[in-house]
Structure 1
Amino acid sequence: MGKYFGTDGFRGEANVTLTVEDAFKVGRFLGWYYGQKNPEEVCRVVIGKDTRRSSYMFEYSLVAGLTASGADVYLLHVTTTPSVSYVVRTEGFSCGIMISASHNPYYDNGIKVINEKGEKLEESVITEIEKYLDGEMGELPLARRDKIGRTVDFAAGRNRYIGYLISIATRSFKNKKVALDCSNGSASAIAKNVFDALGAETHVISNEPNGLNINTGCGSTHIGQLKKFVKEVGADVGFAYDGDADRCIAVDENGEEVDGDAILYICGKYMKEQGTLKNNKVVTTIMSNFGLYKAFEREGIEYEKTAVGDKYVYENMVANGNCLGGEQSGHIIFSKHATTGDGILTSLKVMEVILEKKESLGKLVSDLEIYPQVLKNVLVHDKTAAQEDEAVKAEVEKVAESLGDSGRILLRQSGTEPVVRVMVEAADMETCEKYVDQVIEVMRENGHLLS
């Protein structure tokens, strides 16, 4: 991770952590970098944005920087992160930019840069952007005369992405009642169109963005609203997206949550039956539930564990030729169809399993036993010192031995705060609480806690 760019772009509060000047400079650098990389061709950059009020401000700043460096900029307007990825890789753009802070509140925003392959930008290029942001590269040349870039309305690119999603479905959704929670974000412009085109009876909530209500009490991080809505309208299934629609959390016909782990389970099991699960393996992160691994072992499905972040999941998939991976939070990657998590695509693949298996979502997940989990965030003086303390490590080993193959313990540092996360999964909540508190007490006794 860089100084400004984390695992999911340059993110922070608009005009506080992330300013219009930052956006202008990112645009200046990208226009120059890709322009000099292929000097015989005009640099072409495509931009999408979510529904935050500040997204327009950052869009204009990026456009000014890009065109000043000689790039032509194509605007998708309000759209999803995965649509930008799709358009970049299918339309021959130099790179793509998504303006979004994903599931964060409306006052935050972010700049995600996508390379020409539709993947998250390489660390080597991010390092160079940060050097320019810090003034270590001096001034970049400005384009002049006919070399100054232009801006092009490219809503047609978003429409082509919608057509692509529709083409992925294997069956009509006729006679299926589907509830969607669009989080007052990017999915508001796309999701209902896709489900309507496939014949579903589509019921939608949180699809009236006003710039200030994105992710507010709705979407994949506030699933309660959709759970209630599914039962109210008698839907067969519900899907909730986050602000930029790269996540999906489902709700079954009984109003019960079906998270990313459960989606990986039903899709992995189905793909194995169909002979399409490459390497017979699913890629997860270390935060996936212990019950998921038990279920995979029962079904004879192998798995990998990566660091937290869909970026790391995708890197593993590419390196090892795996085709399905994701996170408990709902970032699910189907590499046959996409290079990033895609919430709407994920909901279409869940619909495929429901329709092809002729079973309800509740029935499909009924044999997945999710283990109780307790996760506590501990404020510490030094994250590394707390985790590397011999007494703490010994206590973690002791807990792991006590749990055996009936649970697990995990310590993980926060990437942005002075916090160590202590997580235990076991057969019951009482056991989880007991072991988490034991480890935290050792941290306290050794002077690591801030309070």
Structure 2
Amino acid sequence: MRKLFGTDGIRAVAGEAPLDERTIYAVGVALATKFGEGSTIIMGMDTRESGPWIARTLAAGLSAGGATVANAGVITTPAIAFLARKHGYSAGVVISASHNPWRDNGIKIFGGDGYKLPDAVELAIEAEIESVLAAGTVHTEGAALPEVNESYRAEYIQFLLNAVPGISLDNRKVVIDCANGAASSVAPQLFASLRGTVEVTHASPDGRNINEQCGALHPEIVAAEVKVHGASMGFTFDGDADRALFADERGNVVNGDAVMLACARDMHARGELAGDVVVATTMSNMGLEAAFKRSGISMLRAPVGDKYVLEQMRESGASLGGEQSGHILFPARATTGDGLLTALMVLDVVHRSGKTLGELIADLKNFPQVILNVKVREKRPLDTIPAVVATIQAAEDELRDTGRVVIRYSGTEALARVMIEAESEEAMRRHAETIAGAIRAELGI
């Protein structure tokens, strides 16, 4: 069982285990050992104030293990995946906690092929980390990062433009919310080249304002800005910009389900949707499945986590997949979810269709859905807690073919997530509260 890696790397409060100095250093040594002496690692980070010291500590461990480090500075997570693959680095590492608050941070790792590491490889790295920690030696004195290579950012922007040739705003006005995160270093320049009017918001990071009342955690903010500015569309990213959510021309929030629907129909019409199938997750709404069916498209469900979506896409040969949260995967263009690429792809669909984003997804009728987050002190298997099992069983028995029950632990936070979908909003809320109450009583903080 994994102890350090969650669904998206190692994540914790910066300075506390497993993001304390000793463990970070051990991660560096372990990665250098895993990828071999003489390996080369490209590193980037988001805008959190803890990013530089974590990067220096990690670089010290990498150097001690015989690896060489290249520094891309503040840049998006998918940019590191792209750069690792393009330049033949052994691996890419990102210092980021994505959508988490500024006090948190994390370590995300990509192989030299630009893909996230399989679980088996992460387990092997964990074992090596434990070995390094047991040895107890940490040498971070004088640890430093090499100079930032500023050309990497320009390379990444050009890659995005090449991925969607001929992309244009068609003189529209759009609003982009950079979440005071990594997108702040890329998105303004990218969108400024697209022949339109761009209102940039939340692009002034100070180390502590990342995701604070902005970005993909708060899509209602960019939706309100679309109305204020009379814009055609809004885009909002999370802290490391590997996902995006949207607002349509009327200021309605558009989530990842709706984005997958618009893109899938466009790809289907052009013969680019392999197998006429899309891979979503257990969290995607039943309404999306129904809309796909009307368009002759089938939907597979993977566990939550974009790397698990990608695994199922590779197994099924699917050319589109993603999550309701805004991680969208276009494997013909990129190896990982990329919020900026997703924004360009949606713009391209709107551009070629001659329709607004709202018109493209107007027939998507979602079942009522609620997600309750319960803070927990431990992640004990829920199927071993009789009181919780009983409430889940009662919900499933009542809802049967008219709803869904999905209960899982967050892979990145100390939370249990209770998701209920049902035709009856009353039943949905009643069962969600009952299950959440049972979890809180047994495991709550």
Which of 201, 222, 229 is equivalent to 2:218?
222
User: In the TM superposition, what is the alpha-carbon distance from 1:410 to its structure 2 partner?
Assistant: 2.8
Q: Deviations over 1:328-385 (max 9, x none)?
A: 1111111111111100000000001100000011111111112211234566976222
- TM-superposed deviation, 1:8: 0.6
Alignment equivalent of 1:163, drawn from 149, 158, 163: 158
Distance in 1 (alpha carbons) for counterparts of 2:104 and 2:444: 27
Equivalence for 1:7? 7
Query: Pairwise mapping of residues 402-441 of structure 1 onto structure 2 (< 5 A)?
Result: 404=401, 406-415=402-411, 421-436=417-432
Matched-pair contact (CA < 8 Å) for 2:217–2:238: yes
Rg (Cα) greater in structure: 1
Task: Decide whether the 8 Å contact of 1:179 with 1:203 is kept in 2.
Answer: yes
Change beyond 3 A, Cα 1:173–1:418: closer
Is 1:34 equivalent to 2:62 in the alignment?
no
Aligned equivalents of 1:139, 1:449: Cα separation in 2: 35
Contact 2:15–2:21 at 8 Å: present in 1 too?
yes
Report deviation, 1:439.
5.8
Equivalent residue number for residue 116 of structure 2:
120
Per the alignment, residue 61 of structure 1 pairs with 57
Contact preservation (8 Å) 1:178, 1:238: yes
1:147-158 map, 5 Å: 151=146, 153-158=148-153
Write the mapping of 1:215-254 to structure 2, written as runs, cut at 5 A. 215-254=211-250
The 8 Å contact of residues 22 and 133 in structure 2, kept in 1 or not, is answered as: no
Structure 1: distance between partners of 2:372 and 2:145:
50
Cα pair 1:291 1:368 within 8 Å, conserved: yes
SS in 1 for 2:258: helix
Corresponding residue of 2:292: 296
On the 8 A contact 2:161/2:167 being kept in 1, the answer is no
Shift of 1:140: 11
With the length of structure 2 as denominator, give the TM-score of the two structures. Answer: 0.90
In 1, the alpha carbon distance for the partners of 2:29 and 2:444 equals 42
Q: After the TM superposition, which of the residue ranges 170-179 and 324-333 deviates more from structure 2?
A: 170-179
**Counterparts of 1:150 and 1:422, CA distance in 2:** 42
CA spacing shift, 1:65–1:52, aligned 2, 3 Å: same
Alignment of 1:378-397 (within 5 A): 383-386=382-385, 391-392=390-391, 394-397=393-396
- Whether the aligned pair in 1 keeps the contact of 2:32 and 2:39 (CA below 8 Å) is yes
Which range is displaced more, 49-58 or 117-126? 117-126
SS at match of 1:220: helix
Change in CA separation of 1:305 and 1:56 when aligned onto 2, cut-off 3 Å: same
Matches within 5 A, 1:137-148: none
8 Å CA contact 2:30, 2:132 repeated in 1: no
Against the structure 1 CA distance between its residues 408 and 60, is the aligned structure 2 distance closer, same or farther, given a 3 Å change threshold? same
C-alpha root-mean-square deviation of aligned residues, in Å?
2.8
Residue correspondence of structure 1 range 49-448 to structure 2 within 5 A: 49-135=45-131, 151=146, 153-169=148-164, 170-377=166-373, 383-386=382-385, 391-392=390-391, 394-401=393-400, 404=401, 406-415=402-411, 421-436=417-432
- The one-letter code matched in structure 2 to 1:206 is H
TM-superposed CA distance for 1:50, in Å, is 0.3
Unaligned runs of 5+ in 2: none
**Mapped partners of 2:350, 2:292: distance in 1:** 19
Q: Secondary structure at the match of 1:53?
A: coil
Over the matched positions of the two proteins, sequence identity in percent amounts to 39
CA distance in 2, matches of 1:14, 1:418: 15
Distance 2:389 2:119 in 1: 33
The two structures have a TM-score, normalised by structure 1, of 0.89
Q: Is the 8 A contact 1:85 1:339 kept in 2?
A: yes
1:187 is paired with a residue whose SS is helix
* SS of the residue 2:397 aligns to: helix
Counterpart-to-counterpart distance in 2, 1:232 and 1:417: 34
* Cα pair distance change 1:126/1:332, threshold 3 Å: same
Question: How far, CA to CA, are the matches of 2:161 and 2:283 in structure 1?
Answer: 32
| CA-to-aligned-CA distance 1:64-93 (integer Å, 9 cap, x gap) | 222222222111000000000001111100
Structure 1 unaligned spans of 5+: 37-41, 144-148
Instruction: Check conservation: 2:391, 2:434, Cα contact below 8 A.
Output: no
